[in-house]
Amino acid sequence: MKEKLLMLGTGQGSREILRYAKSQGMHTIVTDYLDPNHSLAKKDADEYWMINTGDLDVLELKCREENVTAVVCGISEFNLEMTMELCKRLGFPCYCTPEAWHYSRDKADFKALCKKLGAPIPMDYEISDALTDEELDKVQFPVMCKPVDMSGNRGISYCYNKEELIKAYRYVRSLSKNNKIIVERMLHGEEWWSGYAIADGDIRLIALNGMYSQPGEPKNCYTITSTATHHVEKFISEINPKIEEVLKAVGCREGYAWVQVMLDEDAHFYIIEMGYRLSGEQIYETYNSLCNCDVIKIIVDYARGLATKHLLPEPQKRAFVKCGTGMILWTNKGGKIVEYRGLEKLKEIPNLKMDILKQVGDDAVPYRGVGNFSFVSENIEDMISTVDAINKNVQVINDDGEDMVIKYTDFDFLRKVYKEGLEGK
């Protein structure tokens, strides 16, 4: 019987998953309630269903009727939760479990676990909805205020005094469904996240990735994420063993996870949060060329019931000469998207992968991603050349005739961290 793979929804990573599944001879199906013009993976699949990804009773019945053999999704957190439940009902393997997923969704419980294991985290403060003077007087500013159950930088505020904290706290309360809100010491320094391939409980560091935002734009709008970075060996020796201990305690036994860290001005790393899913900027697509680690293959093969331990890479030991890069098209304006310019020109760049997330006619809001690029470069100058080509060619035009895209141009900083990384600094 031919294997049948059901993909829940279209999101970052969906189309790469479908390409791999097809290469393995699988019959591919995509389901959600959207028209194929707004669910682009449907155009890549052999078949599509018009069933909402949250309608699990209907999906379970349909999967049994159609002899579906595996269920997966892209980075969508909602669809990952639906995938876990649907796999449970059907008796299929899913790399992510509800128990482990809890720590991706609840940042407060993740911090508590890190604290229990002695993993370094920013100092936090207990603040209640009463916002009493006694609570607020204990806070040493500046601090960050954020929800425990939201991703993509939603709800995050930086607070420098009591008034800003009160406003930020109430803002998070208006967004979050969780009664816990994180108020923690604001760290000052550069940020990274580390990606891990996991099989049968064996956790391997794939790569440390630097996170770079354009100067003058919000710091949490990381236009460039790249393996071109420094402090790799310090990270590996100082904090990576604790991170792997935390991931094991979380219950990560299969698939792919990432952990965000920050190097504070005290010269030490601190853990910020984790994700047990594919990452939004899709840099994982570069790892196969960079270090022979195919994250998509690991996730799909596990969903098929295949062994994956032989797919684990050797753990990273030092900075890479080649650069694996993910680039997000962040907006700094809003409006209806009326045109994408320059995308055809970029098809001339070898090995550049594009994933456009918003379509012409969709509404865009400031400081959200509308598309991604991923690519591998031989060195930093090759990487900068590709980023520059994207800057010069790509425009996302709104209904006021404005280009909404943030351009990353701090190339001297990229050269600096790349050079330091290769020198072991």
Write out pLDDT tens, residues 190-239: 999 999 999 999 999 999 999 999 999 988 899 999 999 999 999 999 99
- Work out the mean pLDDT of the chain and round it to a whole number: 94
Q: Which residues of 182-202 are buried (b: 16+ CB within 10 A; e: fewer)?
A: bbbbbbeebbbbbbbbbbeee
Q: What is the pLDDT of residue 152?
A: 61
Give the tens place of pLDDT for each residue, 389-423. Answer: 999 999 999 999 999 999 999 999 999 999 999 99
Domain boundaries, the chain: 4-94, 123-185, 190-422
Mean pLDDT computed over 148-166:
82
What global pTM score does this model have? 0.92
CATH 3.90.1150.10 correct for 190-422: no
pLDDT digits (tens, 9 = 90+) for 34-50: 988 878 789 899 999 99
* Structural class in CATH, domain 4-94: alpha beta
Distance (Å, rounded) from C-alpha 88 to C-alpha 330?
Answer: 36
**pLDDT value at position 153?**
67
Does residue 151 register a pLDDT over 70?
Answer: no
- Give the Cβ contact number of residue 19 at 10 Å: 12
**Spatial contact of 315 and 205, defined as CB atoms under 8 Å apart:** yes
Name the CATH superfamily for 123-185.
ATP-grasp fold, A domain (3.30.1490.20)
User: How much is the average pLDDT of 7-19?
Assistant: 89
Percent of the chain with pLDDT over 70: 99
- Please give the residue that has the higher pLDDT: either 329 or 156: 329
pLDDT over 90 percentage in the chain: 78
